[in-house]
Structure 1
Amino acid sequence: MTVNGQFPGPTLEVRNGDTLIIKATNRGRYNITLHWHGVRQMRSPWADGPEFVTQCPIRPGQTYTYRFTIEDQEGTLWWHAHSKWLRATVYGALVIYPKLGSSYPFRRPAKEFPVLLGEWWNRDPMQVLQQSMVTGAAPNVSDAYTINGQPGDLYPCSSQDTTIFPVRAGETFLLRIINAALNQQLFFSIANHQMTVVEADAVYTKPFTTNVVMIGPGQTTNVLVTANQPPGRYYMAATAYASAPNVAYDNTTTTAILEYQRGGSSRPVLPQLPVWNDTNTAKAFTARFRSLSRGEVPTRIDENLFFTINLGQINCSRPSFRCQAPNNTRFTASMNNVSFSLPTRNSILQAMYQNTPGVFTTDFPPVPPVQFDYTGNVSRGLWTPVSGTKLYRLKFGSHVQIILQNTNIVTVEDHPMHLHGYHFYVVGSGQGNFNPKTDPARFNLVDPPFRNTVGTTPGGWVAIRFVADNPGVWLMHCHLDVHIGWGLAMAFLVENGVGELQTLEPPPLDLPQC
């Protein structure tokens, strides 16, 4: 599927404070929803988009109009399908410029380029997903990575269509990098050029210089680059960062070309990228992010939550888990041993607003039901989760801390965890099991990064904090789409506060019905 016949879809260019009205008509053959990734939609979760969470899908032939306002945000976000694997081809950039009269906190670049990193399958990705659901195995890995929809000339298919970024010698330009890949963290680099990171997830950062960017699915990173090399042609390249041992991944490299004016037509120079399992480089890069200003990091904690991030296996003979695997099992995933199950007869938000019983419960556990050595040798008796549509209820204005603990069930892996409707402060991370007595002393409460998607340290933990000031139902999930399909998700039900500005808006009249 495509949007307006384009792959990637259109880049939306708006200003901080703008109200967006986007009419989405489904002319494809699959149900679909759209998600405005990273937009903090105050009082408007009806526009958030995850299928059967905030809305029922837009069915073929139907139309739904998304309405929301950009409030106190600027930088690079993006939009994408939030319906099974349609995100493989339905996505685009959302560029939020400063308000008129305002400016960037750095010198305005001469040019700006969106850089959308994606994945490509040589068949309908929905069929790839369906095959894995039948067999119980992990889905086939992609056939290529892409930059702005093109794999690049290291593949046999696209030497004539490789994306080219034209620049002049001496000028400084801004790259708005978006990882729209379905299932893969990526390393990104430019031959012979350094990058200065100035923003991530639409939040300005303290600048730092790097030769390589590691970016997880869902994340955005803006970098300044100066064309200070001899005029020529230089590859931009991206390849996999695959943190899980013994798990298949697409071991190819996508390229685009940074081309200087009067740079000739010589073969571009290729950058040196990290090896696929270079977790040290990935961790070192992530650790350098700092907020530009102190912000308002919550210090009083009202809700202290501890979530384990687990893979696992489940028996196919259980209801709703049909498969034909030889050993009668299929892969699954969970948080606190709960594998998230989407409803099918109503969306969660509609059920909450209408007080419809039987669609969800609010008994998601705040801590794991069983404590164990999370990053050690885990007994196979702990590999099988329970299934349910379980939410965790938060009072409006409560200060929330979540420890996201990676586990060694099946394997350790860097899971990019995305929280809808909010940004959060990443106050700490570490290896091994989180120690509540000693680890908080090392938290950064001065200038922690403010993100909407964060990777969980392979074999470790990450701590985040936010204020629950956005009423509604907000999904938290792994942004590896294979994992959210296996159940690596949960949702928060944030109660209304006091008065109109702290109360969920009523649903729009054209909200799709199930």
Structure 2
Amino acid sequence: MFSEKPTRREKSSKRNIVIAGVILVVLALAPSLGLGQGSQPWNDASRFLLSKTFPIIETPTTRYYNWELSQSTISPDGLARPMLLVNGMFPGPLIEANTGDRIVVNVTNNMDSGTAIHWHGIHQKGTPWMDGTMGVTQCAIPPGQSMIYNYTITNQWGTYWWHAHAASQYVDGIFGPLIVHSPDEPHLKKYDEDIIMMLQDYYHTPSDPLVNWYHSPKSGGSDPLPDNGLINGRNSFNCSKAAQAQFPTNTKCTDGEPLATFNFKAGSTYRIRLINTGAFADFQFSIDGHTLTVIEADGVDMQPVPVQRLPIHVAQRYSVLVHANETVGNYYVRATINTNCFFGSNRALDPFVKAVIHYENAPVAQSFDSTDWTAASMAPSCVDLALDMLHPYNVQPAPTADVSHLIKFTMKPSSDGILLGYANDRSWSPLMTNATLFQSQMGLTSFDATQQVVVLDKNVIELVLINDDIGPHPFHFHGYTFSVLGWGNGTYVPGQTPLEVRNPLRRDTITIPQRGWTVVRFVNDNPGLWTLHCHMDWHMEVGLLIQFESWPDRIRGLEIPSEITAMCGA
């Protein structure tokens, strides 16, 4: 007889099972221990005012959450439609943590389709299988089953968010804020209150039929257009316009739903964390009579810059300081949908999305006189804030590139008239019963062409991103924050087109202009499979995504928990 010694993978699997068992016990006790998020009304606006008593400290802790994903009919703007909820909430629960904290989220899928949760902007160093991208870093959590996401936030702080990364589920409600604090934040002492404002273009039709329409010759390549916009899941809708929508609906509708309201105290300073959680539209954000001072973009501290109006594209985040120094009264928050970017129109849409700033001791009101900033400050094109306006607070020169990859993106119809997104003339299609990370970890060196995998095996990578499409595209990079050396319309000429290398903007989501270019660089220090994709959900659904395999040899040494890979066979 021979002695059967457990392999490294078997040892790892047993260890993971023990750890998972301990976590499940703690999660089961979480409500009684005051941990995590319990059930609340589906839209309780107070959830997005961060607590003054949250301890911002260096000592790390573990934060536990129990989430149940389900479907229910609700009316965020007065018109009833089925939505996807997390713990009965829309938007979903807040995660608030400090740098160094461990986040443990037990996600139970009570929906009728598989799902995955992506932690948008969190680098997942050492845990790429927790990135939550279906077909890339995991298989879907099957209906009726659970998955424990377990990761540590390392050397990051700022404004992030989480959302479903399976099909178009986040468009239907599976998203929420993720805020990370640190005592090292340079702007920490500059504000008295901390408020989250999530901006969202909103559709009265569930996303599945919209995707099916878009992915058919019927659409003619035109994007589904929103019916409304929401701020923290709230707005009012003119019910008489429901029949005029791009996709008419006749469900129950109530006029005059209340706007989201934020309370100000005269003399205080507020940090407002803006997150565009939408599917397609960019917003022009402003507050009547109040200057916005930008201090953060996508988790990177910025040198303060005052603006009257701030463009924010899909998946981007900003923090702005707002001083409550105006006459006591009520003022409109304006998140205006920039319809200049639309090809077509939706007669049901009122693009002027609003919320209310209510000063303490002012009359309570939803309708009042409040003057917008001049129309001249509204950007006619859908581009980001000018690069020469945003400078990282901590100066960091761009690294010298070891290799440059040219990636051309476009949208064009296939031979059967269906619009597809292409990166270097190939269109991505998600794996349904496997993940490219698992394939790489097992030693696969040649992927199916639909997976769009580019190998990164140099220390510093430059990406020259060319947009051959007639519209702009906000691209988000998983696993990294990149340096943005430049962008513009027309042709980029290496070695001739000027680039900013002294202290370039750093972020994880950048808008590539129409018929334009963007150049980014990053230090390749995070082994894993990472996607770069347009965050306009309709575009990702038709394949506008590319994957980067960072250090394949190191990926093969990863010990991916067996309970993660086991979902592929469920």
Q: Contact 1:213/1:285 (CA < 8 Å) preserved in 2?
A: no
Inter-partner Cα distance in structure 2 for 1:140 and 1:275? 28
Change (3 A) 1:146 1:265: same
Secondary structure of the corresponding residue to residue 504 of structure 1: coil
**DSSP 3-state at the match of 1:509:** helix
Q: Distance in 2 between matches of 1:170 and 1:153?
A: 34
Letter aligned with residue 105 of structure 1: H
Correspondence for 2:277? 180
**Which of residues 480, 486, 491 in structure 2 aligns to 1:422?**
480
**Residue in 1 aligned with 2:246?**
none
Within the candidate set 496, 506, 509, 2:563 is matched to 509
CA contact (8 A) 1:178 1:219 kept: yes
Evaluate the alpha carbon distance shift between residue 356 and residue 155 of structure 1 in structure 2; reply closer, same or farther with a 3 A threshold. Answer: same
Shift of 1:184: 1.2
- Alpha-carbon distance in structure 1 between the residues aligned to 2:479 and 2:358: 39
Q: 1:92 to 1:340 in 2, by over 3 A?
A: same
Match of 2:455 in 1: 393
2:225 maps to 1:147: no
Instruction: Give CA deviations for 1:392-411 in whole Å, capped at 9, x if unaligned.
Output: 0011x521111111214xxx
Q: Does 1:405 align with 2:466?
A: yes
Paired residue type of 2:404: N
Please show how residues 434-453 of structure 1 align to structure 2 within 5 Å: 434-439=492-497, 442-453=498-509
**Equivalent residue for 1:321?**
none
The aligned residue for residue 211 of structure 1 is: 308
Where does residue 365 of structure 1 map in the other structure? none
Indicate the larger mover: 114-123 or 419-428: 114-123
Counterpart position of 2:51? none
Asked whether 1:491 is paired with 2:547, we answer: yes
Q: Distance in 2 between matches of 1:150 and 1:69?
A: 32
Amino acid at match of 2:379: D
SS in 1 for 2:362: coil
Uncovered stretches (5+) of structure 2, i.e. residues with no partner: 1-83, 241-253
Q: How far apart are residue 73 of structure 1 and its match?
A: 0.7
8 A contact 2:453–2:546 mirrored in 1: yes
**Aligned pairs, number:** 465
Question: 468, 488, 500: which is aligned to 2:524?
Answer: 468
Q: CA deviation at 1:119?
A: 2.4
Cα distance change of structure 1 residues 479 and 196 upon mapping to structure 2, 3 Å threshold: same
Distance 1:64 1:485, change over 3 A: same
TM-score (norm 1): 0.85
Where structure 1 has 5 or more consecutive residues not aligned to the other structure, the ranges are 317-328, 362-387
Equivalent residue in structure 2 for 1:291, among 386, 389, 392: 392
Distance 1:276 1:110 in 2: 29
- The correspondence of residues 15-414 of structure 1 with structure 2, limited to 5 A, is 15-88=98-171, 89-99=173-183, 102-137=184-219, 138-152=222-236, 157=254, 159-242=256-339, 244=341, 246-248=343-345, 252-266=351-365, 267-268=367-368, 269=370, 271-272=372-373, 278-279=379-380, 282-295=383-396, 297-299=398-400, 301-316=401-416, 329-355=417-443, 360=448, 388-395=450-457, 398-408=459-469, 412-414=470-472
- Measure the CA separation in 2 of the matches of 1:247 and 1:194: 33
Q: Is the 8 A contact 1:129 1:139 kept in 2?
A: no
What is the Cα deviation at residue 104 of structure 1? 3.9
Q: Per the alignment, in what secondary structure is the counterpart of residue 126 of structure 2?
A: coil
Residue 41 of structure 1 and its aligned partner are, at CA, apart by: 0.8
Render the CA deviation track for 1:202-253: whole Å, top value 9, x for unaligned.
Answer: 1101110001111111110000000111111111111222454634465522
Query: Kindly tell me: are residues 192 and 155 of structure 1, through their superposed partners in 2, closer, same or farther at Cα, counting changes over 3 Å?
Result: farther
Amino acid of the structure 1 residue aligned with 2:528:
G
**% same residue:** 27
Any idea what SS the aligned residue of 1:341 has? coil
Contact 2:329–2:359 (8 Å) recurs in 1: yes
Contact kept in structure 2, 1:311 and 1:332, CA below 8 Å: yes
Measured on the aligned residues, the alpha-carbon RMSD in Å equals 2.5
1:243 and 1:438 map into 2 onto residues whose CA distance is 31
Q: Supply the distance in 1 between the matched residues of 2:439 and 2:448 (Cα, whole angstroms).
A: 8
Distance in 2, matches of 1:256 and 1:140, equals: 25
Distance 1:398 1:289, change over 3 A: same
Which stretch shows the higher mean deviation, 131-140 or 455-464?
Answer: 131-140
Quote the residue 1:10 is aligned against.
93
Bigger mean CA offset, 266-275 vs 425-434: 266-275
Matches of 1:280 and 1:124 in 2, distance apart? 28
Give the Cα–Cα distance (whole angstroms) in 2 for the partners of residues 353 and 37 of structure 1.
23
Secondary structure in structure 2 of the residue aligned to 1:28: coil
**Structure 2 CA distance, aligned partners of 1:277 and 1:260?**
26
CA deviations 1:154-179 (Å, max 9, x no partner) are 78856343110001111100101000
CA distance in 1, matches of 2:318, 2:537: 20
Which has the higher Rg, Structure 1 or Structure 2? 2
Letter aligned with residue 488 of structure 1? L
Q: In 2 relative to 1, CA 241–275 (structure 1 residues): closer, same or farther, beyond 3 Å?
A: farther
Q: Which amino acid aligns with 2:434?
A: N
Residue 115 of structure 1, CA deviation: 0.4
